[in-house]
């Protein structure tokens, strides 16, 4: 039985002064232990948010990690630096693919660094609008998953604790959302890709989340899909009441799975 996960990506929002208070307010609103809950604040607030969330059951995630272990990389943060502060790390977010030109090969190396440091990677994948309209969404996502995992699998066994987040680029921050059935179809594509490069057992064990304008209104559509194991939330992840409703809905899914 796969975990049900709700992760909030705060992106470049909040300051070190206000992040701990917001984290505490969200944690108090999402006290649902059946759901794996993760908050990913900006790197500069990781320590303060980790302290604020101590004892709440809500985990801390980094929004990025460097592809090298250490060295002359000014301004960068390695997986081992994050390890004391976070237990999760986002890799390959579409905003970094777009703005920092991150490639599948680089993202694969980031997964390796996460595994070495004991961080659970959240691998983000998703197609552009033109790719969806051309009918190529499945091909794009399959390629992203297979290419990143091929790098990771050259370095070792299947990455422990890997989660894949399907985030169609056209749905991020736009208010447009994928249909639940379409997201489930891509979740199946992701599992087929994992099965192809690793094993069917790894594919079946890997949680797949949906992200892209998830709100309290749209969350149920994804959390009702057996192939989808949770939500990756951006804008709504900064709002305690929105997070309360999303995690509350996720808890229904978690309880239904346990009872099934
Ligand atoms: P929004 O929920 O703001 O669309 O962002 C989703 C996202 O990118 C999470 O990583």
Domain layout of the chain by residue ranges: 5-68+76-230
- List, for residues 19-44, the tens digit of each pLDDT value: 999 999 999 999 999 999 999 999 99
The token pair that represents 13 in the structure block: 């929002």
Mean pLDDT of 191-210: 98
How many angstroms separate the most distant Cα atoms in the chain? 52
d(CA 250, CA 252): 5
d(CA 11, CA 40): 8
pTM above 0.95? yes
Residue owning the nearest CA to atom 2 of ligand 1:
234
d(CA 106, CA 217): 35
The token pair that represents 235 in the structure block: 């804008």
Q: What is the CATH number of domain 5-68+76-230?
A: 3.20.20.70
168 lines ligand 1 (CB under 6 A): no
Question: How many Å lie between the centroid of ligand 1 and the Cα of residue 91?
Answer: 14
Which residue numbers are catalytic? Answer: 93, 167
Total length of the chain: 260
Residue 52 has pLDDT above 70, yes or no: yes
Mean pLDDT of 93-117: 98
Residue owning the nearest CA to atom 5 of ligand 1:
234
């Amino acid at each position: 039985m796969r975990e049900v996960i709700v992760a909030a990506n705060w992106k470049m929002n909040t300051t070190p002064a206000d992040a701990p208070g917001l984290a505490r307010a969200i944690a108090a609103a999402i006290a649902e232990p059946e759901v794996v809950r993760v908050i990913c604040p900006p790197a500069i607030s990781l320590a303060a948010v980790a302290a604020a969330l101590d004892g709440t059951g809500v985990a801390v995630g980094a929004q990025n990690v460097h592809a090298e272990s250490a060295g002359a990389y000014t301004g960068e943060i390695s997986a081992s630096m994050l390890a004391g502060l976070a237990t999760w790390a986002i890799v390959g977010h579409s905003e970094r693919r777009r703005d920092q030109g991150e490639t599948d090969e680089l993202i694969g190396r980031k997964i390796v660094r996460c595994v070495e440091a004991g961080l659970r990677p959240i691998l983000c994948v998703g197609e552009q609008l033109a790719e969806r309209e051309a009918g190529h969404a499945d091909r794009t996502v399959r390629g992203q998953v297979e290419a990143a995992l091929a790098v990771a699998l050259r370095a070792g066994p299947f990455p422990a604790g890997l989660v894949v987040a399907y985030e169609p680029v056209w749905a991020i921050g736009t208010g447009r959302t994928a249909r639940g059935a379409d997201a489930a179809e891509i979740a199946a594509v992701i599992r087929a890709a994992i099965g192809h490069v690793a094993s069917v057992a790894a594919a079946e064990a890997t949680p797949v989340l949906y992200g892209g304008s998830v709100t309290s209104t749209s969350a149920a559509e994804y959390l009702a899909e057996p192939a989808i194991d949770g939500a990756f939330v951006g804008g709504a992840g900064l709002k305690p009441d929105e997070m309360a409703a999303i995690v509350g809905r996720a808890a229904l899914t978690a309880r239904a799975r346990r009872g099934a």
